[in-house]
């Protein structure tokens, strides 16, 4: 693989490129699915090809091919160089890359038990075990639709660039996805999507305790449907569970602090950002809010040790005690803003250019137990999990609709409530955090960005947090 | 492909649908009035869908190594032996079939275009700036493809096509933006100037927006918003999502799901249609499928598996999708019939309401009930006394899909092809006036 990547880089340089990089990447994917107790097709995907990126006269070009003979690689590199040159007349300032220490390394996420060695029938057995645990006699509720999906992905990549970096990376990832629909006569339906995923081997199956997770989710849906009442109106205090804290950190901290968005590179697709480069050092939240993005968390779904520009990964503190401290950079944005790259450049496959992505984004825990957080609320809402969410393309106006949610009365969790709506601005939300829990939990997600779309594996996480004086949306508005 | 089908047969597989696609794609992205990157992709990928005794398996091999393909198929056949049985026994469509060519799908000039894409970027930026934009961003993508389908049931065919798609987003100030789109299968149908002009005009009109107010409004949706929502209608009309419990059209065939004004079809045979193909990925001839006729849901879209399960007719909608099911029913060209109104008529009918030009980030609280929200993006305008007045911002559409479909009051005669980052299925759609649309805002 490395030899082919080096051939592409050398060929680009011979064509006049001032910078070239190439990555040969293989992705192996297998998916096993049970739908309402019967098997869906086992599907297999294989991707192997070369992607190369060049800078020619200050203009950037990317090209890929999945034909790995040298003639095809030449055609791809020539295409990258030619199209970059052709676009030069409409390029603004010449692209520069930040100066970084070059790397020569092999890295991997280790598998104690190689999932490729596990026979397919054993993978189905895992799904059938979950399926059995979801029987009505176990969960006490009707689940007319149960989708259980087990996905394994193995990425192997060899990267070289014209500045001397040389890397080999190997990442196995296992995912388990549930989609459960619960139905209760006279009460309608509720749905739950849960995604557990890690970068490790088959040993994760024992770690997850997935039967219990599925059982608890199913019982929760039944309870919410049967007992859920309308959410309160007016101003309340809220406890947001780890799952909600995690999505908040991802959507309204991680995304707006991606420097490519801030510089307008994603304006026509994923959008821009309410944050400007000059806002570093500015307060955006209370002193309890510290948000970290860390690619190096062992076993995490967003794990990597070197990014796809060859820069060594490390944790990034995006917000520290309420102050915006760091943006997510690749080498291009780092050069433009005169800082160093913090290794946020990732690509999902050989045929995608590397772009700025989050890895594992979470709020730093403090010292409160959940009980202590709840004790501090006279009348409020505990939104433990969510289903619907979205945020505007400047990452300012966001909405989370609760799934498992409860009233809090006199410092105690009480009645289930259905679909409470938190619709709030980013500073309004982070500025209202007055206490942060100590139990850190993560959820898995696939983050969408880029054109063509690139799904990036990430973790979102945090402890439960308490936010004060929130006015719930609470369903449809009345006529204007 | 013949070798794949015959070797899979020798391994004991009852039915095989094999496909091969070769594509050549180019992209130019730009922001802040400058090109930021060019992309070029050359891809060849075989796909194989296997079925034996109701058990199914599928693979997509984007790796040019015949031995790897052979190994994967052998592995899948062994996996099928230990896979639990599926819930439905079915047959692939019995060929041979005659496929009629669809006019207007291939443009040699577009297949070879390269500097033309850079020219298009320049044209669109200039058109936007002429309307008053200060910053212009966007993307232009060309796609040339050829495909070949062969099944064990004697279906065999090939076709080819080209597409070009451009999205332009113009900004006058940070919170005054607009979007324009051009989509076609040939350079002749492609109009980057109009895409740039539309984006620039909306951005200019959207200057100095004030905070919008929550409530229920009469809303005129631009084609981009309607296309986004109709894509969800297309998804929900797939028997696959119905089967998964993820459709808001569950148990609704032959029921009223929309207002009388709404007639919609999926037409994979549309001349010049960006998603048109002569045969589906199971080799069945494509056709125009009436999905909603005067508000009544007529059918779901089917593959041979879902048609057998739902006891329905094939619709020529099979699409190979690596991932959950291998072969799923999917819309290719969604077409909403136009009405007899002008855009100004719709504003006049609304009298007081909102005009929303774009949206993104549509997410569901419950896919079965259709409760969802989506963010209004770019120019949003108040309508007062039948005329556009001030621009507003900070609004979210929070409602229910069936309620929205049933509240469509009128449609424009003018229609536009839409596909962009937030709209996957090419959609030909008019403007629409919808009553009682839920609009929410941030509370803090």
Q: If you average pLDDT over residues A291-311, what whole number do you get?
A: 98
B291 and B414 co-located in one domain: yes
Q: Which residues of A touch B216 (CB under 8 A)?
A: 476-480
- Which residues 277-336 on chain A approach chain B with CB closer than 8 angstroms? none
Contact at 8 Å (CB) between A333 and A263? yes
Nearest CA-CA distance, residue B125 and chain A, Å: 10
pLDDT score of B151: 97
A423 contacts B58? CB cut-off 8 A: no
B157 and B251 co-located in one domain: no
Closest residue in chain B to residue A454, using alpha carbons only: B421
Residue A381 to residue A370: CA distance in whole angstroms: 13
Q: Which residues of A touch B358 (CB under 8 A)?
A: none
What tokens appear for B402 in the block?
């069936």
H, E, C per residue of chain A? CHHHHHHHHHHHHHCCCCEEEEEEEEEEEEEEEEECCEECCEEEEEEEEEEEEEEECCEEEEEEECCCCHHHHHHHHHHHHHHHHHHHHHECCCCCCCCCCCCEEEEECCCCCCHHHCCHHHHHHHHHHHHHHCCHHHHCCEEEEEEEEEEEEEEEEEEEECCCCEEEEEEEEEEEEEEEEEEECCCEEEEEEEEEEECCCCCHHHHHCHHHHHHHHHHHHHHHHHHCECCCCCEEEEEECHHHHHHHHHHHHHHHHEHHHHCCCCCCCCCCCCCCHHHCCCECCCCCCCEEECCCCCCCCCCCCECCCCCECCCEEEEECCEECCCECCHHHHHHCCCCCCCCEECCCCCCCCEECCCEEEECCCCECHHHHHHCCCEEEEECCEEEEEECCCCCEEEEEECCEEEEECCEEEEEECCCEEEEEHHHHHCCEEEEECCCEEEEEEEEECCCCEEEEEEEEECCEEEEEEECCCCCCCCC
Contact at 8 Å (CB) between A169 and A108? yes
Please list, in sequence order, all residues whose beta carbon lies within 8 angstroms of the beta carbon of residue A325, skipping any fewer than 6 positions away.
A280, A281, A317, A318, A319
pLDDT band with cut points at 50, 70 and 90 for residue A476: very low
A147 contacts B245? CB cut-off 8 A: yes
Closest residue in chain A to residue B38, using alpha carbons only: A61
pLDDT score of A6: 98
* pLDDT less than 50: residues of chain B: none
- Helices B115-131 & B192-205, crossing angle to 10 degrees? 30
pLDDT score of A137: 87
B216 contacts A388? CB cut-off 8 A: no
Place of tokens 């028997």: B239
What tokens appear for A168 in the block?
């080999």
Question: Of B178, B203, B228, which marks where a domain is finished?
Answer: B203
Residue B443, helix vs strand vs coil: coil
B245 contacts A181? CB cut-off 8 A: yes
- Which residues 49-78 on chain A approach chain B with CB closer than 8 angstroms? 49, 59-68, 72, 75-76
B251 and B393 co-located in one domain: yes
Q: Does A120 touch chain B (CB under 8 A)?
A: yes
Residue B222 to residue B358: CA distance in whole angstroms: 7
Number of CB atoms found within 10 A of residue B352's CB = 13
A392 contacts B377? CB cut-off 8 A: yes
**Is pLDDT of A38 > 80?**
yes
Nearest CA-CA distance, residue A368 and chain B, Å: 25
What tokens appear for B320 in the block?
């190979």
| Domains of chain A and any CATH numbers | 2-227 (3.30.2290.10), 235-471 (no CATH)
What tokens appear for B89 in the block?
């026994």
B183 and B288 co-located in one domain: no
Nearest CA-CA partner of A145 in A92, A216, A52, A218: A218
Contact at 8 Å (CB) between B15 and B111? no
Compute the count of residue pairs across chains A and B with CB atoms less than 8 Å apart: 313
pLDDT score of A480: 31
pLDDT score of B194: 98
Q: Does A393 touch chain B (CB under 8 A)?
A: yes
**Is pLDDT of A478 > 60?**
no
Residue B26, helix vs strand vs coil: strand
CATH assignment at residue B58: 3.30.2290.10
B301 and B398 co-located in one domain: yes
What tokens appear for B83 in the block?
């896979």
Of B87, B139, B324, the CB nearest to A268: B139
**Is pLDDT of A98 > 90?**
yes
List Cα–Cα distances, B363 to A390, A411, B372, B373, in angstroms: 7, 33, 6, 6
B127 and B47 co-located in one domain: yes
B131 and B256 co-located in one domain: no
**Is pLDDT of A194 > 80?**
yes
Kindly write down the DSSP assignment for every residue of B134-174, as one continuous string: SEEEEEEEEEEEEEEEEETTS-EEEEEEEEEEEEEEEEEET
Contact at 8 Å (CB) between A217 and A180? yes
Q: Does A90 touch chain B (CB under 8 A)?
A: yes
Residue A329 to residue A314: CA distance in whole angstroms: 12
Kindly write down the DSSP assignment for every residue of B332-392, as one continuous string: SSEEE---SB-HHHHHHHHSSEEEEEEEEEEEEEETTTTEEEEEEEEEEEEEETTEEEEEE
The domain containing residue B57 runs over which residues? 2-203
pLDDT score of B261: 97
Q: If you average pLDDT over residues A70-88, what whole number do you get?
A: 96
Question: Of B152, B168, B203, which marks where a domain is finished?
Answer: B203
Q: Does A271 touch chain B (CB under 8 A)?
A: yes
Q: How many domains does chain B have?
A: 2
DSSP letter (8 states) at residue B252: -
B184 and B225 co-located in one domain: no
B251 and B188 co-located in one domain: no
Question: Of B140, B170, B203, which marks where a domain is finished?
Answer: B203
Phi, psi for residue A274 in degrees, rounded to 5: -75, -15
B352 and B388 co-located in one domain: yes
A44 contacts B76? CB cut-off 8 A: yes
Q: Does A89 touch chain B (CB under 8 A)?
A: yes
What tokens appear for B177 in the block?
């933006």
pLDDT band with cut points at 50, 70 and 90 for residue A373: very high
Please list, in sequence order, all residues whose beta carbon lies within 8 angstroms of the beta carbon of residue B391, skipping any fewer than 6 positions away.
B176, B205, B206, B207, B208, B209, B210, B379, B380, B381, B382
Of B167, B398, B444, the CB nearest to A424: B444
B155 and B247 co-located in one domain: no
Q: Which residues of A touch B363 (CB under 8 A)?
A: 388-390
Residue A170 to residue A157: CA distance in whole angstroms: 7
Q: Which residues of B touch A42 (CB under 8 A)?
A: 56-58, 76, 79-80, 83
From the centroid of its chain, how far is CA A223?
29
Contact at 8 Å (CB) between B38 and B28? yes
B199 and B216 co-located in one domain: no
pLDDT band with cut points at 50, 70 and 90 for residue A16: very high
Nearest CA-CA partner of B419 in B142, B107, B167: B167
> If 0-12 CB within 10 Å is exposed, 13-18 middle and 19+ buried, where does residue A434 land?
middle
Place of tokens 């799952």: A243
């Amino acid at each position: 693989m490395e030899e082919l990547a080096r051939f592409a880089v050398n060929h680009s340089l011979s064509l006049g490129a001032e910078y070239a990089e190439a990555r040969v990447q293989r992705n192996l994917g297998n998916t096993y699915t049970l739908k309402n107790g019967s098997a869906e097709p086992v599907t297999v995907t294989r991707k192997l090809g070369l992607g190369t990126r060049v800078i020619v006269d200050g203009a950037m070009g990317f090209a890929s091919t999945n034909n790995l003979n040298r003639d095809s690689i030449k055609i791809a590199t020539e295409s990258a160089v030619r199209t970059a040159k052709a676009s030069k007349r409409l390029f603004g300032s010449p692209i520069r890359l930040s100066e970084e220490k070059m790397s020569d390394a092999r890295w991997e996420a280790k598998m104690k038990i190689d999932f490729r060695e596990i026979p397919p029938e054993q993978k189905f057995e895992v799904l059938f075990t979950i399926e059995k645990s979801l029987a009505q006699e176990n969960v006490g509720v009707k689940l007319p639709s149960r989708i259980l999906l087990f996905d394994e992905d193995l990425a192997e990549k060899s990267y070289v660039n014209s500045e001397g970096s040389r890397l080999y990376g190997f990442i196995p990832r296992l995912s388990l996805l549930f989609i459960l629909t619960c139905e209760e006569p006279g009460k309608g339906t509720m749905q739950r999507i849960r995604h557990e995923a890690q970068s490790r081997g088959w040993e994760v199956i024992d770690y997850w305790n997935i039967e219990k997770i599925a059982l608890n989710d199913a019982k929760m849906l039944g309870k919410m449907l049967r007992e859920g009442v309308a959410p309160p109106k007016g101003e309340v205090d809220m406890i947001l569970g780890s799952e909600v804290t995690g999505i908040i950190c991802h959507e309204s901290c991680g995304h707006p602090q991606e420097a490519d968005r801030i510089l307008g590179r994603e304006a026509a697709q994923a959008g821009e950002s309410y944050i400007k480069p000059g806002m570093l050092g500015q307060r955006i939240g209370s002193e309890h809010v510290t948000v970290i993005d860390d690619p190096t968390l062992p076993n995490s779904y967003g794990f990597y040790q070197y990014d796809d520009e060859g820069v060594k990964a490390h944790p990034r503190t995006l917000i520290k005690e309420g102050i915006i401290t760091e943006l997510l950079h690749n080498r291009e944005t780092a050069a433009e803003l005169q800082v160093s790259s913090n290794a946020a450049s990732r690509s999902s496959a050989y045929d995608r250019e590397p772009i700025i992505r989050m890895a594992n984004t979470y709020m730093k825990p403090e010292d409160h137990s959940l009980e202590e957080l709840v004790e501090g609320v006279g009348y409020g809402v505990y939104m433990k999990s969510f289903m619907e969410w979205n945020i505007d393309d400047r990452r300012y106006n966001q909405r989370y609709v609760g799934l498992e949610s409860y009233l809090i009365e006199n410092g105690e969790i009480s009645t289930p409530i259905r679909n409470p709506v938190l619709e709030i601005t980013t500073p309004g939300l982070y500025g209202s955090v007055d206490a942060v829990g100590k139990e850190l939990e993560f959820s898995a997600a696939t983050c969408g960005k880029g054109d063509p779309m690139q799904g990036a594996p990430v973790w979102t996480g945090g402890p439960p947090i308490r936010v004060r004086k929130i006015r719930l949306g609470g369903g449809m508005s009345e006529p204007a | 492909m013949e070798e794949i089908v015959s070797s899979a047969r020798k391994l004991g597989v009852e039915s095989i649908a094999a496909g091969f696609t070769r594509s050549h794609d180019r992209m130019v992205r730009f922001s802040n009035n400058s090109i930021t990157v060019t992309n070029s992709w050359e891809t060849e990928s075989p796909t194989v869908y296997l079925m034996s005794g109701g058990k199914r398996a599928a693979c997509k091999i984007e790796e040019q190594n015949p031995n790897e393909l052979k190994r994967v198929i052998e592995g899948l056949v062994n996996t099928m032996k230990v896979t639990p049985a599926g819930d439905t026994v079915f047959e692939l469509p019995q060929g041979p079939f005659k496929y009629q060519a669809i006019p207007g799908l291939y443009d040699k000039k577009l297949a070879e275009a390269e500097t033309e894409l850079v020219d298009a970027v320049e044209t669109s930026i200039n058109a936007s700036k002429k309307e008053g934009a200060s910053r212009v961003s966007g993307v232009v993508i060309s796609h040339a493809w050829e495909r070949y389908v062969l099944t064990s049931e004697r279906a065999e065919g090939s076709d080819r096509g080209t597409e070009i798609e451009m999205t332009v987003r113009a900004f006058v100030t940070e919170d005054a933006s607009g979007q324009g789109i051009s989509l076609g299968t040939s350079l002749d149908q492609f109009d980057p100037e109009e895409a740039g002009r539309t984006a620039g005009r909306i951005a200019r009109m959207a200057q100095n927006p004030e905070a919008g107010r929550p409530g229920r409004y009469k809303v005129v949706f631009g084609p981009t918003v309607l296309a986004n929502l109709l894509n969800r209608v297309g998804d929900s009309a797939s028997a696959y999502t119905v089967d998964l419990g993820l459709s808001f059209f569950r148990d609704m065939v032959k029921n009223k799901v929309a207002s009388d004004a709404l007639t919609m079809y999926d037409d994979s045979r549309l001349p010049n249609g960006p998603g048109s193909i002569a045969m589906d990925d199971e080799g069945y001839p494509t056709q125009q499928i009436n999905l909603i006729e005067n508000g009544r849901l007529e059918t779901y879209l089917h593959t041979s598996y879902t048609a057998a399960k739902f006891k329905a007719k094939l619709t020529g909608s099979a699409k190979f999708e690596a991932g959950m099911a291998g072969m799923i029913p999917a819309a290719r060209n969604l077409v909403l019939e136009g009405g007899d109104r002008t855009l100004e008529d719709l504003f006049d009918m609304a009298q007081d309401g909102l005009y929303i030009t774009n949206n993104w980030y549509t997410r569901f609280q419950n896919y079965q009930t259709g409760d969802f929200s989506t963010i209004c993006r770019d120019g949003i305008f108040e309508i007062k006394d039948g005329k556009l007045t001030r621009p507003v911002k900070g609004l979210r559409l929070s409602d229910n899909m069936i309620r929205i479909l049933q509240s469509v009051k009128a449609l424009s005669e003018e229609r536009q092809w839409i596909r962009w980052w937030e709209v996957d299925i090419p959609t030909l759609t008019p403007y629409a006036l919808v009553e009682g649309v839920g609009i929410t805002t941030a509370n803090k």
